[in-house]
A and B are shown apart, each in its own frame.
Chain A
Amino acid sequence: MTLLNVENLTVQFDTDEGRITAVENVSFSLEAGQVMGLVGESGSGKSVTAKALMQLNPRNSIYNEQSKISLNLDDGPVDVLSLKTAKELKVVRGGAVSMIFQEPMASFAPAITIGKQMVEQLVLHKNLTKAEAKKLSVDMLDRVGISEAGKRFDQYAFELSGGMRQRAMIAMALSTSPKLLIADEPTTALDVTIQAQVIDLMKDIVADFGMGIIFITHDLGVIAQTADKIAVMYLGELVEQGSVRDVIRTPAHPYTQGLLNSLPKLEDLDKPLTPIPGDIPSPLERPSGCVFHTRCPKVVMGRCNVDIPTSVRVKDGHKASCLLIEDNGGPKL
Chain B
Amino acid sequence: MIEKPLISAKNLSVTFLLGNNFFGPKLTIQAVADVTMDIPRKSFFGLVGESGSGKTTFGRALLNAVPISGGNVQYNDDEVSYHLERLTKVELKDYRKRSQLIFQDPYAALSPRMTVRDIIAEPLEVMGLTNSREETDERVREIAEKCRLNLEHLRRFPHAFSGGQRQRISIARALVSNPKFVVADESVAALDVSIQADVLNLLKELQKELELTYLFISHDLSVVAHVCDNVAVMYLGRLVETAPTRDLFFRPRHPYTKALLSAIPSLDPDYSGNAQKLEGEIPSPASVPSGCTFHTRCPHCIDICKQVEPLGEQVSEGHNVVCHRWKELDTPEPSN
Q: How far apart are A126's CB and chain B's nearest CB, in angstroms?
A: 31
Supply 16 further A-B pairs (C-beta < 8 A) apart from A264-B225, A272-B201, A273-B200.
Answer: A162-B51, A162-B281, A192-B219, A193-B278, A193-B281, A194-B50, A196-B278, A197-B278, A218-B192, A245-B269, A260-B267, A262-B193, A265-B222, A266-B264, A279-B165, A282-B162
Instruction: Report the Cα distance A266→B265, complex, angstroms.
Output: 11
Question: Do B162 and A191 touch across chains, with their CB atoms under 8 A apart?
Answer: no
Q: How far apart are A129's CB and chain B's nearest CB, in angstroms?
A: 34
Question: Do B194 and A259 touch across chains, with their CB atoms under 8 A apart?
Answer: yes
Given A218-B193, A264-B225, A266-B222, CB of A279 within 8 Å of CB of B162: yes
Residues of A within 8 A of B209 (CB): none
The chain A residue sitting closest to B265, CB to CB, is A221
Instruction: Report the Cα distance A46→B163, complex, angstroms.
Output: 18
Q: How far apart are B336's CB and chain A's nearest CB, in angstroms?
A: 15
Asked if A274 lies at the interface with its beta carbon under 8 angstroms from chain B, I say yes
The chain B residue sitting closest to A200, CB to CB, is B277
Partner of A264, one of B195, B222, B271, B275: B222
A-B contact pairs, 22 of them (CB 8 A): A41-B195, A42-B163, A42-B192, A191-B50, A194-B281, A195-B265, A196-B265, A197-B278, A221-B267, A224-B265, A224-B267, A224-B268, A248-B267, A259-B193, A263-B193, A263-B197, A264-B200, A264-B225, A266-B222, A269-B226, A273-B201, A279-B164
Question: Do A193 and B50 touch across chains, with their CB atoms under 8 A apart?
Answer: yes
Question: Do A41 and B281 touch across chains, with their CB atoms under 8 A apart?
Answer: no
Asked if B259 lies at the interface with its beta carbon under 8 angstroms from chain A, I say yes
Instruction: Report the Cα distance A258→B263, complex, angstroms.
Output: 24
Partner of B269, one of A193, A194, A218, A224: A224
Interface residues of B (CB under 8 A from A): 50-51, 162-165, 192-198, 200-201, 219-223, 225-226, 245-246, 249, 259-261, 263-271, 275, 277-278, 281-282
Question: Do A192 and B221 touch across chains, with their CB atoms under 8 A apart?
Answer: yes
Q: How far apart are A215's CB and chain B's nearest CB, in angstroms?
A: 12
Kindly list the 10 A-B residue pairs having the minimum CB-CB distance in the complex, ordered from nearest: A221-B265, A275-B198, A275-B197, A276-B194, A273-B197, A41-B192, A191-B50, A262-B197, A264-B226, A196-B263
Question: Do A221 and B200 touch across chains, with their CB atoms under 8 A apart?
Answer: no
Instruction: Report the Cα distance A274→B223, complex, angstroms.
Output: 13
Instruction: Report the Cα distance A262→B226, complex, angstroms.
Output: 12
Asked if A219 lies at the interface with its beta carbon under 8 angstroms from chain B, I say yes
Partner of B267, one of A41, A197, A265, A274: A265
Question: Do B225 and A266 touch across chains, with their CB atoms under 8 A apart?
Answer: yes
Question: Do B263 and A221 touch across chains, with their CB atoms under 8 A apart?
Answer: no
In the complex, which residues 23-80 of chain A have their Cβ closer than 8 Å to any Cβ of chain B?
Answer: 41-42
Residues of A within 8 A of B222 (CB): 263-266
Instruction: Report the Cα distance A82→B32, complex, angstroms.
Output: 57
Question: Do A225 and B277 touch across chains, with their CB atoms under 8 A apart?
Answer: no
Total chain A interface residues with beta-carbon distance under 8 A: 42
Instruction: Report the Cα distance A266→B222, complex, angstroms.
Output: 6
In the complex, which residues 234-282 of chain A have their Cβ closer than 8 Å to any Cβ of chain B?
Answer: 244-245, 248, 258-260, 262-266, 269, 272-276, 279-280, 282
Residues of A within 8 A of B50 (CB): 191-194
Instruction: Report the Cα distance A244→B277, complex, angstroms.
Output: 23
Instruction: Report the Cα distance A41→B196, complex, angstroms.
Output: 11
Q: How far apart are B174's CB and chain A's nearest CB, in angstroms?
A: 20
Q: How far apart are A298's CB and chain B's nearest CB, in angstroms?
A: 15
Residues of B within 8 A of A282 (CB): 162
Asked if A220 lies at the interface with its beta carbon under 8 angstroms from chain B, I say yes
Question: Do B219 and A161 touch across chains, with their CB atoms under 8 A apart?
Answer: no
Asked if A309 lies at the interface with its beta carbon under 8 angstroms from chain B, I say no
Q: How far apart are B53's CB and chain A's nearest CB, in angstroms?
A: 9
Q: How far apart are A161's CB and chain B's nearest CB, in angstroms?
A: 5
Instruction: Report the Cα distance A259→B194, complex, angstroms.
Output: 6
Q: How far apart are A225's CB and chain B's nearest CB, in angstroms?
A: 5
Provide the A266-303 mask, 1 if CB < 8 A to any CB of B, else 0: 10010011111001101000000000000000000000
Asked if A136 lies at the interface with its beta carbon under 8 angstroms from chain B, I say no
Residues of A within 8 A of B193 (CB): 41, 218, 220, 259, 262-263
Instruction: Report the Cα distance A86→B246, complex, angstroms.
Output: 57
Question: Do B225 and A279 touch across chains, with their CB atoms under 8 A apart?
Answer: no
Question: Do A275 and B267 touch across chains, with their CB atoms under 8 A apart?
Answer: no
The chain B residue sitting closest to A263, CB to CB, is B193
Instruction: Report the Cα distance A288→B85, complex, angstroms.
Output: 58
Given A193-B278, A196-B275, A273-B197, CB of A266 within 8 Å of CB of B269: no
Asked if A222 lies at the interface with its beta carbon under 8 angstroms from chain B, I say yes
Instruction: Report the Cα distance A242→B264, complex, angstroms.
Output: 24
Residues of B within 8 A of A222 (CB): 265
Instruction: Report the Cα distance A266→B118, complex, angstroms.
Output: 40
Residues of B within 8 A of A164 (CB): 281
Instruction: Report the Cα distance A195→B266, complex, angstroms.
Output: 13
Asked if A163 lies at the interface with its beta carbon under 8 angstroms from chain B, I say yes
Provide the A139-160 mask, 1 if CB < 8 A to any CB of B, else 0: 0000000000000000000000
Provide the A203-230 mask, 1 if CB < 8 A to any CB of B, else 0: 0000000000000001111101100000
Given A41-B194, A275-B197, CB of A269 within 8 Å of CB of B246: yes
Question: Do B194 and A275 touch across chains, with their CB atoms under 8 A apart?
Answer: yes
The chain B residue sitting closest to A228, CB to CB, is B269
Instruction: Report the Cα distance A137→B203, complex, angstroms.
Output: 49
> In this complex, which of B50, B249, B260, B281 has the most chain A Cβ atoms within 10 angstroms of its Cβ?
B281
Q: How far apart are A239's CB and chain B's nearest CB, in angstroms?
A: 13
The chain B residue sitting closest to A197, CB to CB, is B277
Q: How far apart are B101's CB and chain A's nearest CB, in angstroms?
A: 22
Instruction: Report the Cα distance A196→B221, complex, angstroms.
Output: 14
Q: How far apart are A147's CB and chain B's nearest CB, in angstroms?
A: 9
Question: Do A258 and B265 touch across chains, with their CB atoms under 8 A apart?
Answer: no
